[in-house]
Every structure is written in C-alpha cells, then in structure tokens.
Amino acid sequence: MFYARNMFEEIPLRDRDVFIWNTLIRGYSDKGPCKEAIVVYKKMHENGFLPDHYTFPFVIRSCGVISGLREGREVHCNVIKHGFELNGFVQSSLVAMYSRNGEMSSSELVFEDIVEKDVVTWTSSIAGYVQNGWFMEGLDGFRRMVASGIHPNMVTLVSVLPACAVLILLSLGEIIHGTGVKLGVDSHLSFINALISMYGKCRVDDNNENVNRARSLFDGMVVRDMVSWNAMIAAYEQNKLGPEAIKLFQRMLYENVDFDYITLVSVISACAQSGGFNNGEWVHHLVTSKRLENNLSVTNALIDMYAKCGSIDMARDVFHRLPERTVVSWTAMIYACAVNGHGYDALEMFSRMLQEKVKPNSFTFIAVLTACKHSGLVAEGRKYYEGMKRDYSIVPSVEHCACMVDLLSRAGLLTEAYEFIEKMPVEPDAGVWGALLSACSIYENVEMAERVAEHVFKLDPKNEMYYVLMSKIYAQAGTPEKAARFRTLMKDRDLKKTPGYSSVEMYLRSHTFPSGSQSHPS
C-alpha cells in the first residue's frame, strides 16, 4: 500500500478519475490500514470527484473495521445525498457496518428497507445478530432467509454456527454441517474451524462423543491456522479434558505454530482444571516471553489457575502486578482467597474493591459467599446476601442460594437451611438440596435427611452420590436394613459409586491413579 499510495500521488490531479480513487480506497479497505480508506475518500470529495456505487461499500466496510460509527453515519448521509440508498451492495455494507458497531436498531432499519434481499444481505444481518450476542434473532433470520427461498453460502453457515454452539443446538449444527458438505465447502478452513468450535461447545453427555468429532475434523485438516488450534484446545478445556488440551498445545509448539492470548487463556484454564501447577508455571513463563503479562484475560486466568492449584501467594503476586484491575480481576482474587480457606482475607479484599469504587457483579458475590461458607462466617454471609439485593439490586441466582444453604448447613443450622430453601426466589435444583443432605450426614439428622431426600431423588434420581449418602446416614443411625435398601436400589438401577483418584505431576505430564488401580507401569 505504501508503493501504491506513492504512485497514486505521482498522478496529476487532472489525470485521475473515479476508478483510480476507488482502486486506492479498495486497497486500504482490503489490506489496511482501513483508516486511510476514509482519509482518501475525504480527499476525493475535496478534490471535486463524485463517488459512485463502487466507492461506498469499501468506505463503509472500513468504518465498520475501525469501529468508526460517527464516520459511518456521515458516509451514510453521503450515500443518500448521491442517490445510492437503494443499491444492494451499499445497503449490505451499511447493515454490516452498523452491526459491527453494535447499532443493531440502525442495522435492522437499513435491512428492512432493502427490497430485494440476496444471500449477501441476509448473511450481513445474520452475522450482525450473532456477533452482538443476539443468537435467537440470528437463528430466526436464518430461518426467514431459507423460508424466502434464498440458499445459504459458506459465509452464512459460518455465521450461524456460533449461535448453535452457544445455545447448544447440536441437531441444527449437524444440519448445517450436512449443508456444508452438500455445498462442497466442508474442506474450507473457516467452515471447519467453526464446526470444531460448535462440536466442542455442544457437550451433551459424559462420553465426549462431540469433542471426538471435533478432533476428527481437526486431524483431517490439510491446512490448519492458529484459529484451528485454538478451537480444538478450547474444545478440550470446555469438556474438562485438561491433560488433552495441554498435550495438544505442546504439539502446537513442537510444530512451530504461533499462539496468542486466546490460546494461553484456554491452556491456563486447562492447567487449573487438572491442578497442574508445574504446567501452569511453564505457561506463565510463556506469557512473560510473549509479553502478555498486562493482558487482563490472561492474568485473570493465571490468578484463577494458581488459586485452584493452592498457590495463593503466586495468585497474589500476579494480582499486585496488574496495571489495571477490573471487577473480573478483583473477583478472581477474592475467589482465590475463598477456596484456599482465607475467608477473612477474601472479605478484606472485597472491602478494598469497594473502596476503589469498583462495582461488584453477580460473580463477585458468589466469590464472597464462597469465602463465608468455607470459613464458617455465618453472620457475614447473611449480611452480604442481603446487601447484594438491597444495595446492588442483584437478584440471587441458584449459585448464590446454594452458597447460603451450604453455609447454614455446615454450621449445623439445618432447620434454617431448610426454611431458606423453601423461601428461595428461584427454583432450587438438586445441588441445593444435596448440600443440605450432605450436612444431614455430618450431623446425623435422619428425620431431616428423609425430608430432603424426597426432593433430591425427584430432581436427580440417577446421581449415585445421594444413594451413598442415604445409605451412610441410615448406617450411622443403626438401621442397617434401610442402608442395605439404598445399596440394592443402586444395584437395580445400575448406578456405581464414582471412585476417588489422585493425580501426580512429573515432567509436565499428569498421571492419574483411580482408587484401587494397579495399571500404571511405574
């Protein structure tokens, strides 16, 4: 573009025409920097050249890329002044520009004015909805497009797949996969990347069938880019297959594929899942070598990883080095203190956060209530639970309520915990009742356990943990025949107690040992 611009400047003004201006604008729009496309467009006006229907799509696209909403609106005005407001290519560009700037109402207005909507126009609208998190609206646009007789192209399919992933619509994702095969785009890089991401996020069972499908697509790729590796590593991490994610990242490094902060966030989260402290430290060194210590997504993931690996001092060190602390950073650090038994430190951290005028969110209060429950701070827990609703208008979720039930239950306040569940603002799930049932076992309260068990088995009849708990409660109460009945029920329903396991990390590899296992060669 440097040479192209110099050649352009050498052309005398009288010898320039609209075509040569459009060529330079298109170059900047395609190759960047996009801001220069807008600069050249303004110079074109100043020099008395009138733009045509080829000029506007490139200028409008550049406004979208640089998030230039003000410039985009000005160009839209020029579109109308020059009489191109009904041109299909210009309208599609405007739909995409407003969408990229988060202005979905303006995008919808332009879209509805389009008389003949083609596949490009529909795709611009669908992609805009999905990119802005309006997933149902994006899928509805896709449905309307197909109903109108317009056949999707590869870009349409790639635009729709993220909505299928977020909403866990596996069957629709499979249909789109099949459509891609029929269109002959099933070997296209961006389409396969989107499929890997979709299958990775659609976790519907514990047999990892969908993540295996994602890996099959990944292994079959002739050419992979960084997005391909990131999608597959994220698929493993999202399906709680931390060791596989780390192993794939090691292969990525071995093959000299470049990585970015998105890769590292997934790998750090995988280390947190598997408790791989040594792996986590190794990845931390990579963060430093890549100069990403100030990337908030990476540092927040590091704090969480060190907390889950039990290294609260390392988590604090990362936190204190942050040049800027957001609510996510504070929440990660509060949670780090909470899960490592430093309840008072967590609450002190929360007070410091408020002093620095950082507004807590729903996740912050989950971290605070977790600190209270792990450290037995009942009075403080009650205070923060009430303050959450009163001072910040945060409606308690199931997670907040589960923390309160666990807190009261651990303190032996079983009746209060039961009454709290009955008055919950949201429907209690099996996990909430299960926390109380676990406390009934600790405090050997058979009567309360029987009342709680009615709710638990109605909500989650296939969870073997509740059968084990009831069997234990009856055994402790000296009624072995009732304990045996629950063991029989487990056998009849083909439920098996999940064995415990230990994990040992050596030379950046994690070795897992299930209870009673003799299979490891060492």
**In 3D, which of 430, 431, 433 has the Cα closest to residue 417?**
433
DSSP letter string, 232-294:
HHHHHHHTT-HHHHHHHHHHHHHTT----HHHHHHHHHHHHHHT-HHHHHHHHHHHHHTT-TT
Distances in whole angstroms, Cα of residue 500 to Cα of each of 191, 416, 512, 515, 516? 40, 32, 10, 5, 9
Amino acid at position 34, single letter: C
**pLDDT range class, residue 460, cuts 50, 70, 90:** confident
How high is the pLDDT of residue 204?
60
Amino acid at 444: E
User: Above 90 in pLDDT, residue 501?
Assistant: no
Mean pLDDT over each residue of the chain, to the nearest integer:
91
The residue-averaged pLDDT of 47-67 equals 93
d(CA 334, CA 338): 6
Strand partners, 501: 514
Inter-residue contact 115 to 86 (CB < 8 Å):
yes
Q: Which string of DSSP letters, residue by residue, matches 288-311?
A: HHTT-TT-HHHHHHHHHHHHHTT-
Q: What are the extents of the domains in the chain?
A: 325-383, 399-515
Burial of 38 (0-12, 13-18, 19+ CB in 10 A): buried
Per the listing, tokens 């891609």 go with 180
Q: Tell me the sheet residues that pair with 504.
A: 511
Partners of residue 512 on adjacent β-strands: 503
87-99 pLDDT tens trace: 888 999 999 999 9
What gap in Å lies between CA 364 and CA 241, rounded to an integer? 27
In DSSP notation, 142-178 reads: HHHHHHTTPPP-HHHHHHHHHHHHHTT-HHHHHHHHH
The answer to whether the CB of 427 falls within 8 A of the CB of 456 is no
Under a CB-based contact definition with an 8 Å cutoff, are residues 76 and 45 in contact?
A: no
What pLDDT sits at residue 333? 94
DSSP string over 339-362: HTT-HHHHHHHHHHHHHTTPPP-H
Predicted pLDDT of residue 276: 80
pTM score of the predicted model: 0.79
Rounded-to-integer distance, Cα 288 and Cα 290, Å: 5
Q: Which tens digit of pLDDT belongs to each residue from 266-322? A: 999 999 988 888 889 999 999 999 999 889 899 999 999 999 888 999 999 999 988
Give the mean model confidence (pLDDT) for residues 320-328: 89
Q: State the Cα angle at 92 between 88 and 94, rounded to 5°.
A: 115
Give the Cα separation of 442 and 438 in Å (integer): 7
Residue-level length of the chain = 522
User: Tokens 């600069």 appear where?
Assistant: 39
pLDDT for residue 358 is more than 90: yes
Per-residue pLDDT at 206 exceeds 90: no
Question: What does the alpha-carbon distance between residue 120 and residue 437 come to, in Å, rounded to a whole number?
Answer: 56
Residues 160-176 have pLDDT tens digits of 999 999 999 999 999 99
| pLDDT tens-digit readout, 415-431 | 999 999 999 999 999 98
- The Cα 200–Cα 213 span in angstroms is 8
Phi and psi for 456 in degrees, rounded to 5? -60, -50
As a whole number of Å, the CA-based R_g of the chain is 29
Residue 205 confidence (pLDDT) above 90: no
Does the 399-515 domain belong in CATH 1.10.10.1100? no
> How far is it, in rounded angstroms, from Cα 440 to Cα 460?
18
